[in-house]
Amino acid sequence: MELKVSHDTVSINEVIFEGSAEQPVDLDINLPDYCPDISRILKCRLMPAVSVRQITGDRLQVEGKTQVSILYVDDTNRRVQCMEQSLPFSQSFALQGAPEDAAVFSNTVIDYVNCRASSPRRLGVHGSFTVGVKVRGRTDCQVVTQAEGAGIQLLRHAAPVSSVIGMAERQFSMNEMLELGQSKPTAAILVRSSTTILISDYKAIANKVIVKGDIQIATLYQCEDSDDMEKMEHSLPFSQIIDLDGVTDESFCDIRCDTVSSDIQIRTDGAGENRLLSADLRLCIQVTAYQSSEISLISDAFSTEVEIEADCNEIRAEQMLKRMRYDGVYKNTFELPSGDITAICDLWCDAGMVSCVAAEGKLLVKAPVNVSVLALDGDGCPTYFERVAEIEYEEELPEGVTLALCEPTLCITGCSFSFAQSQSMEIKIEYRLEGCVFVPFQENAICDLRLCEDQPIVRVSGAALVIYYADRGERLWDIARKYCTSVNAIKEENELSEDVVPARGMMMIPSI
């Protein structure tokens, strides 16, 4: 008795590592000579940005810089001042083995930050943030693809999967000179700046991905000839070509963009006036390309002649369901802090960690947003306060899909405010949620088969046909396994075309 077994290697992509590490921030800062003395600290911000994600052997190295930005009121003119300092960070993670064709994703979440002035010219900053990483890599698994002889019966299962072709990063610089509007006053001090990257389109071609988008730069500056503050917004289009082997026009991509560094300074124009802004930006585009395919697995087997032994591996993979992109608007009314607020100078938003779960046939997305408000009190002195907004979004899943995975990014594309009534204000946040939605599955696949020749099959009945009362929806495979026959024999005997029992009733089970 002989059993011929054929094997093949199935390559799938799965999460092979997920971890996080706390990164402390401890700084003692002496103000530069050009900064006036501190009267009162308004806000201290930590803005970490990852610039390096590199796997060497079984180690993952993550590096970047944390920009520390401190807003304070000076003790001379009661104006808002800004002092910034950059601090490098590095984290190393131990992987299990050296993954091939790995895609590394990272995020940073601020844990806390405290800032205290020990003197008018000295500051202490203490805080921390968490660096989170996830590594998707290729896993090769040997499976049985065919077996013949000894009356072997195989249960095949075709599984649609979306495999990672590869991941590529491209960092590029943009250096632009931006003009203040003609109606805008000249600038004295840059109080705050932010950079937002929006992807408008991408196209995958042979071994390349073309990415197009816009960089939105928002600035707030102190006017030169008054105590007023002015806001400016600029938009810079960009287009980049990223080399990525294996990509075709049938591939789909998950594209993420980050600002690695941003240096915006006030400059003089040809007339000697502070009416220009120099923007030196370092940006990073991360492209992960996927390809949809189908793998054939054998999840169960039995012999009609002898007992068999089967070794199994658990195959875990994901199928791309759709690419989610939603542009939404959040509105809410918040109470102002106690005391008179006579004007709001600026409002900006920082998105927190986005959560996404599937429940009751829907994809539910939640994201906290910290709303920062720079205002003037009743005495005309700058003050600062915060509110927390909770953005929620839900999207229907296709019928029959109960479990889905998505790690969307939340991008704040705009925010504005208006006084709703006394001691309250209405805010409007424009945002974009974007990410790939996957349907996960796991299946036991047979990776080897062996005959137990000393254990022949003992049939309960020696009859050529057995009467069986089946329930509607029962699998023919389960019936065939029970009576040591084949699914095809049951189909032919009962004139069936499907692999499940169409209606409750009597069936004839043939012996083979």
Number of H helices, E strands in the chain: 2, 22
481 and 508, same domain (yes or no) = yes
- What band does 239 get if pLDDT is binned at 50, 70 and 90? very high
Residue 95 lies in a domain: yes
Which of 89-93, 340-344, 406-410 comes out lowest in average pLDDT? 340-344
Residue whose C-alpha is closest to residue 363's, from 438, 413, 295:
438
Question: With 0-12 CB in 10 A as exposed, 13-18 as middle and 19+ as buried, what is 67?
Answer: middle
**Beta-bridge partner residues of 406:** 437
CB 349 within 8 A of CB 370: yes
What pLDDT, on the 0 to 100 scale, is given for residue 20? 96
294 and 330, same domain (yes or no) = no
What pLDDT, on the 0 to 100 scale, is given for residue 437? 93
184 and 44, same domain (yes or no) = no
- What band does 2 get if pLDDT is binned at 50, 70 and 90? confident
What pLDDT, on the 0 to 100 scale, is given for residue 480? 93
At 305, which amino acid appears?
E
What pLDDT, on the 0 to 100 scale, is given for residue 348? 94
Q: How far apart are the C-alpha atoms of 246 and 256, rounded to whole Å?
A: 19
Parent domain of 407? 324-440
Q: How far apart are the C-alpha atoms of 165 and 254, rounded to whole Å?
A: 12
- What band does 377 get if pLDDT is binned at 50, 70 and 90? confident
What pLDDT, on the 0 to 100 scale, is given for residue 93? 96
28 and 54, same domain (yes or no) = yes
Residues 477-499 pLDDT 10s = 999 999 999 999 999 999 999 99
Residue 418 lies in a domain: yes
What pLDDT, on the 0 to 100 scale, is given for residue 111? 94
What pLDDT, on the 0 to 100 scale, is given for residue 21? 97
**Beta-bridge partner residues of 23:** 129
Residue 448 lies in a domain: no
Q: Does residue 23 have a pLDDT over 80?
A: yes
CB 211 within 8 A of CB 240: yes
Residues 150-189 pLDDT 10s = 999 999 988 888 888 888 889 999 999 999 988 899 999 9
Asked which of 440, 475, 501 is the last residue of a domain, the reply is 440
CB 138 within 8 A of CB 11: yes
Q: Does residue 384 have a pLDDT over 80?
A: yes
Where residue 505 sits, what CATH number does that domain have? 3.10.350.10
How many domains does the chain contain in total? 4
94 and 211, same domain (yes or no) = no
Q: How far apart are the C-alpha atoms of 17 and 106, rounded to whole Å?
A: 12
**Beta-bridge partner residues of 19:** 133
CA distances from 15 to 18, 190, 410, 436, 440 (A): 7, 43, 22, 15, 12
Per-residue pLDDT averaged across 25-47, rounded? Answer: 93
Residue whose C-alpha is closest to residue 470's, from 511, 508, 506, 509:
506
CB 251 within 8 A of CB 204: yes
295 and 335, same domain (yes or no) = no
425 and 398, same domain (yes or no) = yes
Per-residue pLDDT averaged across 375-390, rounded? Answer: 91
Residue 13 lies in a domain: yes
**Beta-bridge partner residues of 443:** 315
Which tokens hold the place of 193?
A: 């700046």
- What band does 318 get if pLDDT is binned at 50, 70 and 90? confident
What pLDDT, on the 0 to 100 scale, is given for residue 462? 66
CA distances from 242 to 196, 239, 448, 497 (A): 20, 10, 42, 50
Residue 315 lies in a domain: no
Q: How far apart are the C-alpha atoms of 250 and 291, rounded to whole Å?
A: 7
Which of 284-293, 334-343, 348-357 comes out lowest in average pLDDT? 334-343
Which tokens hold the place of 134?
A: 């996830």
Q: How far apart are the C-alpha atoms of 136 and 187, rounded to whole Å?
A: 47
335 and 376, same domain (yes or no) = yes
143 and 177, same domain (yes or no) = no
Asked which of 271, 304, 337 is the last residue of a domain, the reply is 304
Which tokens hold the place of 221?
A: 């500056």
Q: What is the mean pLDDT of the chain?
A: 91
Q: How far apart are the C-alpha atoms of 102 and 16, rounded to whole Å?
A: 9
Residue 9 lies in a domain: yes
- What band does 510 get if pLDDT is binned at 50, 70 and 90? very high
131 and 75, same domain (yes or no) = yes
Residue whose C-alpha is closest to residue 193's, from 236, 231, 227:
231
What pLDDT, on the 0 to 100 scale, is given for residue 158? 84
What pLDDT, on the 0 to 100 scale, is given for residue 291? 87
- What band does 508 get if pLDDT is binned at 50, 70 and 90? very high
Q: How far apart are the C-alpha atoms of 415 and 196, rounded to whole Å?
A: 12
What pLDDT, on the 0 to 100 scale, is given for residue 280? 96
- What band does 232 get if pLDDT is binned at 50, 70 and 90? very high
Residues 455-478 pLDDT 10s = 988 776 667 889 999 999 999 999
Per-residue pLDDT averaged across 113-133, rounded? Answer: 95
Close Cβ partners of 479 (under 8 Å, ≥ 6 residues apart): 468, 470, 490, 501, 507, 509
Asked which of 131, 149, 167 is the last residue of a domain, the reply is 149
Residue 446 lies in a domain: no
What pLDDT, on the 0 to 100 scale, is given for residue 460? 64
Q: Does residue 241 have a pLDDT over 90?
A: yes
What pLDDT, on the 0 to 100 scale, is given for residue 461? 64
Q: How far apart are the C-alpha atoms of 491 and 280, rounded to whole Å?
A: 71
- What band does 147 get if pLDDT is binned at 50, 70 and 90? very high
Q: Does residue 78 have a pLDDT over 90?
A: no
431 and 341, same domain (yes or no) = yes
Residue whose C-alpha is closest to residue 180's, from 224, 226, 214:
224
- What band does 511 get if pLDDT is binned at 50, 70 and 90? confident
Which tokens hold the place of 295?
A: 């793998």
Residue 341 lies in a domain: yes
145 and 157, same domain (yes or no) = no
